[in-house]
Structure 1
Amino acid sequence: MKVRRPLIASLAAISCVPVLLIPGASVAHQAAVAAEGPECSAVSPDDDVERPVTGENTAMEALQVPQAWAQADKTGKRPGAGVTVVVVDSGISGLRDRGPAPVKSAHGLIVGGIIAGPNQPKPAVPVGIAPGADLVDEPFYNVPRGEEQDGLLLPMSDALEQHLRGVTARRRSGALKGPTIVLIPMEVLHTDSLEKAVAALVASGVLVIAAAGDRPADDSFLTSYANDKASPGEDAVADVWPAGGDGVVSVGVSTPTDGVLRNSGIDLAAPGTGSVSKALNGAWCVVTTISSHWAAAQVAGVAAVVWSVHRGDTAKQLEERLEGTASGNGEGASPLTGYGVVQPVEAILRDVNGMGAEGHEADVVQRAREPRERADLLAEARDNAVWWGLGGGGALVILVVLRPVLSRRRTTGGSELRR
């Protein structure tokens, strides 16, 4: 049962969440001009490449990435340097090329750009959150999501399982060394063999990050969740994989939307929109849709920046660092944002030694065990108002009832005095 906090405390907690305001920045800079340009997923390989992106990468501003870069620079580290990010998706080939990318699906390309894409030179717009990270391409499907191949909708659980086992093998053989993040910005259906493959990957010492799930179209995956809005009590934690696996960092979105699934297993959140990335035609583009897929890429980029500074962290320690310094929402963990929005500056600067499982639970609100309705900040005030109203109303009723009696007593007392 959720214990309500006092209204003032709740409002104070929310007012302190540093998601959109940048410490030390001017008011004018805080009101970032959202990037404008082609929508990443709508660009075809032969579209005009002369249309540049203007404005700012608002996702990076919201996550305080420039401030995190400054902290990394103080330690002499290029943000993301020394960290490998394996992108298990539709392919990132052509990410750093100016011409059309040799892939059929833009999904993986967009994800790769969010993490470590090259900056747009004119006008200058930063793109990759972790520009120094080493990206490794691990494509497990090659056509747009939801299309059919051999009569089956892609991507498939068995194909993902096969590639995850391949990554695990390279890790164990030493071919994949050092701090490594495996990003799966996608959801597939659960199978027992996929669950075992995910467990083996986590045990190999990498940080596994996965999308907590988007609401599907009628002809796509997870059709039981294909509604306009969340059903009462919706919880996709058992159905969305690999995010449902033990030890996997499940990522949701912090931007309000009906397009993502409610999932009590979510650990961290990010905007899931507002990024600048690369499109199929080789030009830069803007992510305007809201998706847990893009949020997972944003969290992977942040994780790479933080890990490049704290190279001594294990994958588990890095996860605890990110979760222990997340923004939270002042009202307990949410099935949409988990422990809260990632905060790279806090994660770099804060001493989280010894936080561990026990310390983490003591310092941070525990994650949701089941979906709950959005926190109602005025609930306690209304409850108090009701009780005060009932109390005041009851007192008024008593006074109304007793008034004639009291009036008669005063009249009787006056008569006796006159006698």
Structure 2
Amino acid sequence: MFVTVRRPLIASVAALVCGPVLLFPGESVAHQTVAVADGPECGAVSPDDDVERPVTGENTAMEALQVPQAWSEASKAGKRPGAGVTVVVVDSGITGVDERGPSPLKSAHGLIVGGIIAGPNQPKPAVSVGIAPGARMVDEPFYDVPRGEEQDGVRVPMSDALEARLKAITARRRSGQLKGPTIVVVPMEVLHTDSLEKAVQALVASGALVIAAAGDRPAADDSFLKSYAGETAAPGEDAVADVWPAGGDGVVSVGVSTPTDGVLRNSGIDLAAPGTGSVSKALNGAWCVVTTVSSHWAAAQVAGVAAVVWSVHRSDTAQQLEERLEGTASGNSDGASPLTGYGVVQPVEAILRDINGMGAEGHEADVVPRAKVPRERADLLADARENAVWWGLGGGGALVILLVLRPVLARRRAGGGSDVRR
């Protein structure tokens, strides 16, 4: 299914969760105040709910990622944000993302993801929704409802179903049916299988940029990833080998910028995004607010950012785009963090920065000229120093011997005084 749908520095995202406003660095409240989005919670809306309460405020996730500024840079380059880029959403379905009526889907999960990436704006009051409004979204559902929402006769995320979808996408890439800059986003986690790993490798080799969620913590009664279930992360937790397809080579694994106990610790994370604060579409066709923190929503946010950046840098390969995103992320320069990877994506920096000279992992390579080896100098005191060393060793050895023999000599002297022969 094809659905055609009509964002240089990272801001603080603390207000996404706990504050009433969002401030950009260097700006005062009077000049840069953003009202946090308020409206129905996306996951709590059912298809039968009346459309009564519109979203108010701003799409705070987009503001935190400085998407409007990225849109401005894209416009300067003569590009519509996301235009010319295809985003394949491999999830529970995005049917109805561009409609005003109820969606026939059984779960809002994929719909929320699609809305974050390229959903239509809310007209009244006006609120921006999709990060990459010019992107072309392709629907490739592989399940009906997430784990924990099981119903009779419906599919939950399974490795074999995901494998089949990824193989189909790869075949379309190879046949030319799906060409040009292509992003494949999988905002869900499944268990690893050898055949799934091969399917992921083939998709990456086809030239698509594959983005996946680094993993959310399963419920305590969930049999999936049971060792990670519970309310908190165990000391030393690392789900890098167990969460797929994020664990695949060449896959951009996405975590959240402010990790909570609800997301898995994963040393394979490459990039991060707020994972909350977005405005999207609900099952009743209305607009809603994402208030939960999830690596699933973060993956959608990174996919949207990637589409915007790729629409400007159309000549980039998928690998070059990944290097661009990682090399301009907000993390430190010492390498990837086990919680947020190279840091939070920064679309403005990614658009403006020249990736020439970046290292293999994306970060700018520090080129330091090799120092010349200084000419060896003559050591005028070498002989004296060598003699001093030997004298020191000899004197030290004699001192040790005297200290060892002193008690023995003292005992002999004492014994000789009481046993005098006549």
Q: TM-score range by the shorter chain?
A: 0.7 to 0.9
Quote the RMSD (CA, aligned, Å): 2.1
Q: Secondary structure at the match of 2:322?
A: helix
Using a 3 Å threshold, how does the CA distance of structure 1 residues 358 and 161 change in structure 2: closer, same or farther? closer
CA displacement 1:65-98 (0-9 Å, x = unmatched) = 0000000000110000000000000000000100
Q: Secondary structure at the match of 1:27?
A: coil
Q: Which residue of 2 aligns with 1:188?
A: 190
Q: Secondary structure at the match of 1:299?
A: helix
Q: Which residue of 2 aligns with 1:128?
A: 130
Using a 3 Å threshold, how does the CA distance of structure 1 residues 256 and 235 change in structure 2: closer, same or farther? closer
Q: Which residue of 2 aligns with 1:369?
A: none
Amino acid at match of 1:198: V
1:222 correspondence with 2:216: no
Q: Which residue of 2 aligns with 1:86?
A: 88
Larger Rg: 2
Q: Secondary structure at the match of 1:160?
A: helix
Q: What is the deviation of 1:248?
A: 0.1
Q: Which residue of 2 aligns with 1:309?
A: 312
User: TM-score, length-normalised on structure 1?
Assistant: 0.80
Q: Which residue of 1 aligns with 2:69?
A: 67
Q: What is the deviation of 1:330?
A: 6.5
Q: What is the deviation of 1:230?
A: 1.1
Q: Which residue of 2 aligns with 1:239?
A: 242
Give, in whole Å, the separation in 2 of the partners of 1:358 and 1:273.
Answer: 27
Q: Which residue of 1 aligns with 2:42?
A: 40
Give, in whole Å, the separation in 2 of the partners of 1:275 and 1:18.
Answer: 16
Give, in whole Å, the separation in 2 of the partners of 1:231 and 1:114.
Answer: 31
Using a 3 Å threshold, how does the CA distance of structure 1 residues 358 and 70 change in structure 2: closer, same or farther? closer
Q: Secondary structure at the match of 1:360?
A: coil
Q: Secondary structure at the match of 2:363?
A: helix
Give, in whole Å, the separation in 1 of the partners of 2:357 and 2:177.
Answer: 31
Amino acid at match of 1:219: D
Which consecutive residues of structure 1, in runs of 5 or more, have no partner in the other structure? Answer: 1-15, 364-419
Give, in whole Å, the separation in 2 of the partners of 1:96 and 1:52.
Answer: 16
Q: 1:198 aligns with which of 185, 197, 200?
A: 200
Matches within 5 A, 1:19-418: 19-20=11-12, 21-22=23-24, 27-28=29-30, 30-148=32-150, 154-220=156-222, 221-329=224-332, 333-357=336-360, 360=363, 362=365
CA displacement 1:151-176 (0-9 Å, x = unmatched) = 99721000000000000000000000
Q: 2:10 aligns with which of 18, 28, 35?
A: 18
Give, in whole Å, the separation in 2 of the partners of 1:288 and 1:267.
Answer: 23
- The percent identity for this pair of structures is 85
Give, in whole Å, the separation in 2 of the partners of 1:359 and 1:148.
Answer: 41
Q: What is the deviation of 1:150?
A: 7.3
Q: What is the deviation of 1:353?
A: 1.7
CA displacement 1:102-137 (0-9 Å, x = unmatched) = 111100000000000000010000000000000000
CA displacement 1:30-69 (0-9 Å, x = unmatched) = 3321111000001000112121000111000000000000
Give, in whole Å, the separation in 1 of the partners of 2:193 and 2:44.
Answer: 32
Q: Which has the higher helix share?
A: 1
CA displacement 1:291-326 (0-9 Å, x = unmatched) = 000000000000000000000000000000000000
Give, in whole Å, the separation in 1 of the partners of 2:258 and 2:207.
Answer: 31
Q: Secondary structure at the match of 2:253?
A: strand
Using a 3 Å threshold, how does the CA distance of structure 1 residues 358 and 57 change in structure 2: closer, same or farther? closer
Give, in whole Å, the separation in 1 of the partners of 2:27 and 2:238.
Answer: 39
Give, in whole Å, the separation in 2 of the partners of 1:285 and 1:127.
Answer: 10
Aligned length: 349
CA displacement 1:249-286 (0-9 Å, x = unmatched) = 00000024111011000000000000000000000000
Using a 3 Å threshold, how does the CA distance of structure 1 residues 30 and 256 change in structure 2: closer, same or farther? farther
Using a 3 Å threshold, how does the CA distance of structure 1 residues 282 and 248 change in structure 2: closer, same or farther? same
Give, in whole Å, the separation in 2 of the partners of 1:207 and 1:302.
Answer: 12
